[in-house]
Structure 1
């Protein structure tokens, strides 16, 4: 049985960690892989900036040589929002989603990474809720113990969360129809 002093010390340490966590300003990197997203990328970026007004973030867009002019739109967005907030990583040809994530991670400078699609299947209005979730102790406990060794990262995180006694729920995504 734990002594009262040990419990109080442990609670004090937890309170100090939470207090420190609230004082530290965190930066988020949002990685968006694109290929032929000329019709969507402007709206997605507008919505990201609209919903993250009080958050320190950058958007890293990895484009796989889109022939539809996606990179031209991204350059226009850089003129509006700044090339320090919107980073374009242009690749010469379609190299695949996995390598786009990898390239985005190499260029991200944030403390936390958010990966989302440009087709609005991940609506930016949910980003503030995800960020609040990131800042919860339970979530940080699960995420900090995961090391990605490839494609199984999400499953590994779910298993570790379950083992630590956390309840996992699925959050539905909005389906969108994209005209080509």
Structure 2
């Protein structure tokens, strides 16, 4: 078991959010406002690292303005030269995280910050290394035994057509059948990690694109890290276009086979 326990109990936890962005000019101000409100209403220490892949729509200019508004210690723009992949965006962002925990999420409102306190509560209740949001479960895992159980209702997906829902369900069913990771939503990208745990796992991953999130959880399980789930509602992006492509789906199937063989 590789569970890492924070021994500095006297120091408050700090939460670093890594936001990979590409053409999120319209979304970034609102998601940052929601994140700031969520953390401050719960008296939590926080910072946001915006990893922008040379967006042509002015996303970086918006990030600079947000840094002036909230403070450069709260909003940090750490751009890259171009679209280099989601996994490498997290690796890049990790170089600038100063928190004890790292939250990864999308900047397009697919993931609502209101679930972050639930992630934190689940992590503290069970001393977990990773908490991941699930669209396909109605209760947290491990289950809560206190009188005020965790959860804002069952998980779900809104705004997807039937084809997209079938693709996502099929992808998770395939991975669950082949890899048996004990997680209901392997392809989700809304998660909380202990900082050293994320650094350890991400350094071992080789996948890119859609399969990357799956590999993170599969490797975490193989290394003995503890993983929990919190039901979330996933809402399709409001502005911009989805980044899922046919090539990503084919790559996912290949990735499942590769992990079955190598992990």
Find the residue that maps to 1:107 and give its secondary structure.
coil
Is 1:124 matched up with 2:110?
A: no
Give deviations 1:22-44, integer Å, cap 9, x for gaps: x4311111100000000100000
Is 1:110 matched up with 2:99?
A: yes
CA pair 66-137 structure 1, distance change in 2 beyond 3 A: same
Counterpart in 1 of 2:73?
84
Give deviations 1:111-152, integer Å, cap 9, x for gaps: 111111101111111111112222234414997796412142
Deviates more, 1:87-96 or 1:133-142: 133-142
Find the residue that maps to 2:23 and give its secondary structure.
coil
Is 1:40 matched up with 2:27?
A: yes
CA pair 67-141 structure 1, distance change in 2 beyond 3 A: closer
1:69 to 38, 48, 58: 58
1:153 to 196, 216, 234: 216
Give deviations 1:40-78, integer Å, cap 9, x for gaps: 000000000111101011101100000000001111101
Task: Give the whole-Å Cα distance in 2 for the aligned partners of 1:19 and 1:26.
Answer: 11
Counterpart in 1 of 2:238?
178
Structure with higher helix content:
1
The answer for unaligned runs of 5 or more in structure 2 is: 132-192, 206-211, 241-263
Query: How big is the shift at 1:106?
Result: 1.1
RMSD of aligned C-alpha atoms? 2.9
Find the residue that maps to 2:234 and give its secondary structure.
coil
Counterpart in 2 of 1:8?
none
Find the residue that maps to 1:60 and give its secondary structure.
strand
Is 1:55 matched up with 2:44?
A: yes
CA pair 20-106 structure 1, distance change in 2 beyond 3 A: closer
CA pair 139-91 structure 1, distance change in 2 beyond 3 A: same
CA pair 173-79 structure 1, distance change in 2 beyond 3 A: same
Find the residue that maps to 1:33 and give its secondary structure.
strand
Task: Give the whole-Å Cα distance in 2 for the aligned partners of 1:47 and 1:57.
Answer: 13
Compute the TM-score of the two structures, normalised by the length of structure 1: 0.76
Structure number, greater radius of gyration: 1
